[in-house]
Amino acid sequence: MLQLKSLTLPSPIIQSPMVGCTDLAYRLVARRRGMTFAFIEMVSSNGLMHESRKTKEIMQTNAEDRPLGAQLMGCDADVMSKAAQRVEEMGYDLLDLNLGCPVRKVTSGGAGAAMLKDPQNTRRVFESVVQAVKKIPVTIKMRLGYEDPSGEEAVEIARIAEASGISMITVHGRTRAQGYTGKANWDAIGKVKRAVKIPVLGNGDVLTAEHARDLQERSGCDGVMIGRGALGNPWLFGQIHDRLFRKQDPIAPTREERIAAVMEHMNLEVELLGEQKAVYHMRRIGGWYIAGVTNAAQWRNQLVRSRTVSEVRDTLLAALEKSAEFRVVPSTMTEGQ
């Protein structure tokens, strides 16, 4: 359990905001299988203030989708504070600030991971946002550093965050320069944990409950934020909670449960987006669910050629029903995660 101001999170195993991945359909599928807290995809503070069509689509939600956090990207203190007020007014339970996005189009403007290079402006953003919201907690998600893998940049920002009234910190164990290559440095996450008193979550390379246990043991972190490891594996949140807090061995889903999940995901995409857009989405989403099956590349090639919901359904069913094994493998990252 995590207590952040007036918000109580029943589990410190939470979902990372991921561009192009953590839409409403994804969140509902995962919530029904053990995830207790979710984020919408990252939202630009400028896009929110201008009420862009894309931002409205990203922020689609419903009554089942609670508790729910929003993540803002931006580096202008005035714009970020106004956007933060808007997020609170819209009824979100938590606001996270993005200091981790490594994409050039974000960092070139000083936002995302580039904020690690400018502690003075980052302090202004933190203080403005914390002052702007009245009730909900403000948290941050950041990288170990811009180029320095030691974690010292993250420690400096973490101390600024704590002094500014930030309620929790999540650290992805890679630098901006690494992108998503190499291995996450879980030991360096521990430097941040030891530098502050507010809760610190670890993030990066957690694909199994055992990985989460190892991350927590090596870093001393208070919880884990799960990203690509749960794409196509919505049971991971509950498995990790069982391993860390109930000391139970995680139970792998059956083939029938995997089929039920991907079919449910597809039906939700159709319901929320319409058939044409759902097919486009499921060419990619379906790949998450079959990433570890026998002859996955063959099935994936067939999936991306699908043009109708029926073709998507038939391919996914065949891939899962005929597979002799299933291995946990990381899904491909997309921009901005």
* Residue 262: CATH number of its domain: 1.10.1200.80
- Same domain membership, residue 270 and residue 167: no
- Output the pLDDT for position 325: 66
Residue 52 per-residue DSSP state: -
| Mean of the per-residue pLDDT values of the chain | 94
In a domain, 335, yes or no: no
In a domain, 111, yes or no: yes
- Same domain membership, residue 147 and residue 70: yes
**Closest by alpha carbon to 31, among 80, 71, 66?**
66
- Same domain membership, residue 127 and residue 155: yes
Exposure letters 273-305 (e unless 16+ CB within 10 A, then b): beeeebbebbbbbbbbbbbbbeebeebbebbee
pLDDT above 50 (res 229):
yes
Final residue before a domain boundary, out of 223, 245, 267: 245
- Same domain membership, residue 181 and residue 263: no
pLDDT above 80 (res 323):
no
- Output the pLDDT for position 328: 63
Percentage of the residues of the chain whose pLDDT score is greater than 70: 96
Residue entry with tokens 């498995």:
239
**Closest by alpha carbon to 240, among 228, 223, 257, 260?**
223
Residues known to be catalytic: 101
| pLDDT tens per residue across span 145-185 | 999 999 999 999 999 999 999 999 999 999 999 999 999 99
- Same domain membership, residue 32 and residue 117: yes
- Same domain membership, residue 297 and residue 238: no
What is the SS3 assignment for 126? helix
- The stretch 112-134 carries a mean pLDDT of 97
In a domain, 205, yes or no: yes
- Output the pLDDT for position 337: 40
pLDDT above 70 (res 27):
yes
| 266 phi, psi to nearest 5 deg | -65, -45
| pLDDT tens per residue across span 179-222 | 999 999 999 999 999 999 999 999 999 999 999 999 999 999 99
Q: Provide the Cα torsion 306, 312, 315, 316; round to 10°.
A: 140
Residue 178 per-residue DSSP state: T
- Same domain membership, residue 211 and residue 111: yes
Final residue before a domain boundary, out of 214, 245, 276: 245
pLDDT above 50 (res 333):
no
Q: How many domains in the chain?
A: 2
pLDDT above 70 (res 128):
yes
In a domain, 250, yes or no: no
- Same domain membership, residue 273 and residue 214: no
pLDDT above 60 (res 72):
yes
- Same domain membership, residue 154 and residue 67: yes
In a domain, 330, yes or no: no
In a domain, 142, yes or no: yes
- Output the pLDDT for position 140: 98
In a domain, 90, yes or no: yes
- Output the pLDDT for position 335: 38
- Same domain membership, residue 218 and residue 264: no
- Output the pLDDT for position 1: 84
- Same domain membership, residue 216 and residue 148: yes
Model confidence at 336, pLDDT cuts 50, 70, 90, reads very low
- The stretch 98-102 carries a mean pLDDT of 96
Range of the domain at 82: 2-245
- Same domain membership, residue 298 and residue 220: no
